[in-house]
Amino acid sequence: MIENNSAAEQVLLGRLLEGDDEAFVASTVSALSPHAFSTDKHKAVFAAISTLVSTGHPVDLTSVVTELRRRDQLDVAGGPSGLSAMTHASLSASARAPQLHLEAMAGREQLRRLESEMELALDLIRDGQLSSVDEARSRLAKLFDAQSFQSTTLPDIRSQIEELKHSLDVRLVNGVDGIDGVPTGWRDLDGGKDSMALVKGLKDGRLTVLAARPGTGKTTAIIDWVRAACDSGAGVVLFSLEQPAEEITELLVVAECGNMHRNKLQNPTELTDLGWDKVSEAMARVASWHLVIDDTARTLPQMRRVAAAARTKFQAEGTDLRIVFEDYIQLTEAGDQQQASLNQAQRLSEIANGFKAMAKDMSIAVVVAAQFNRGPTEGDRPPKLSDMKGSGGLEEAADLVIGLHRPYAIDPQGSSETPDDLHVLILKHRQGRAGGILSRSFLGEFARTSEPRNLQIGSAG
């Protein structure tokens, strides 16, 4: 039991050391004392945190190390590496774990205080200092009248209704075709005049899966969505597990050039002065974005750490982290030995649920790309949810699943469609209607997609 308590305490302290949730820090410090912890190491760390809070100083890894050094207790706490291990334990746990551990520890702390007061009351009764039931009841009344910690942290329906009212106000202001999430840049998803407005932006706290067969354009679609999010001023993190960051950056610049072939940057000696001007302008735009491209994080705990650091960076720049992209989820590695021991479907389910928890915990939108299984036949058949690799857990965790279908890329000889024809299928939509289909023009040589060309021609006239 002590070992289990110690592991829970490590997750809780790690969450405090992350330093990005002042409300959680305040709630923890008010509910617990150093006596609530089972080891001298954890008691020392919590005492340092409590001192920082009481003196109005921010709580994070650096400030706690400094306070422990001032107290000459840094070695007792395990040194900087010991504190880093606590943050790693927190990031490896589920998003709800720190709160659940706090509730359990606060409950034990209240029982400990109750036990102490009742023992004192019994001693007073034995010594004759409490000579009546009324005196004993009066002494203990405050203890039993106090609410438990868990009862004070239960979700409040009034607050939830206020949040709903705020969402309705935003939708009212935006109008029927308005957008109330991070834009994708795809008109029929986001909304606008004569659009389907199927999604109206990618929402905070929700997990979107963008799935495609190999070679049909999922990375190009991700590039579209990243550009639209960045253009909106949002802070964006892109985890690229398949391609190096340099290649992703090049794709972004090519796409920003509009009508410049990717091969031009592969052989820049062919660029004219006008071409160099376009590239320079595109590079300047991309450089101005609040964007982090990370091609080193391979596990979900590593990605959570990068996302937390990116949020701090973006807030210093005057914005906030709004959306995280990952390309692609089936390449995500296990976060620990226990997860590594699971079969592929179970591991993918845990990872998908971890991304969903990250979206809710950080109040951001999360988009993961996924692959449909390669089909030796049925190249012209639109993909289904069941075609996703490890589809069960991934489908269950997702709020929105969008499938990309480009028949020509699967079967160039047998397809009646052109290389540009791209069909976008709404395979699952927890907050709306599934089954919608929209069209895009796939312009892979320009690292982007566009509205269907026939519609563009009509609007241009």
Specify the pLDDT at position 200: 87
Domains of the chain and CATH, by start: 2-152 (1.10.860.10), 170-460 (3.40.50.300)
Specify the pLDDT at position 374: 67
Contact 110, 152 (CB under 8 A): no
Comparing CA positions, the residue from 1, 26, 19 lying closest to residue 90 is 19
Percentage, residues of the chain above pLDDT 70: 89
Residue 384 has pLDDT above 90, yes or no: no
User: How much of the chain is helix, strand and coil, in % rounded to 5?
Assistant: 55, 15, 30
**CA–CA separation, 240 vs 32, rounded Å?**
41
Query: Could you read off the pLDDT of 250-293 as tens digits, one per residue?
Result: 999 999 998 888 888 888 888 888 989 999 999 999 999 999 99
Specify the pLDDT at position 317: 93
**CA–CA separation, 416 vs 408, rounded Å?**
8
Here the tokens at position 247 are: 């290649």
Query: Could you read off the pLDDT of 443-456 as tens digits, one per residue?
Result: 999 999 998 865 33
Query: Could you read off the pLDDT of 92-149 as tens digits, one per residue?
Result: 676 778 888 898 898 888 888 788 888 888 888 888 888 788 877 777 777 676 666 6
Sheet holding 400-405, edge to edge: 291-294, 235-240, 321-327, 365-371, 207-212, 400-405, 421-429, 437-443, 448-450
Q: What is the mean pLDDT of residues 359-376?
A: 85
Backbone angles phi, psi at 325, to 5 degrees: -115, 145
Number of H helices, E strands in the chain: 20, 9
**CA–CA separation, 439 vs 454, rounded Å?**
11
Residue 18 has pLDDT above 80, yes or no: yes
Query: Could you read off the pLDDT of 322-341 as tens digits, one per residue?
Result: 999 999 899 999 887 888 88
Contact 411, 213 (CB under 8 A): no
Residue 352 has pLDDT above 80, yes or no: yes
Tell me, yes or no, if the pTM score tops 0.75: no
Here the tokens at position 9 are: 């305490």
Specify the pLDDT at position 461: 26
Here the tokens at position 224 are: 């579209």
Query: Could you read off the pLDDT of 31-54 as tens digits, one per residue?
Result: 899 989 999 999 999 999 999 999
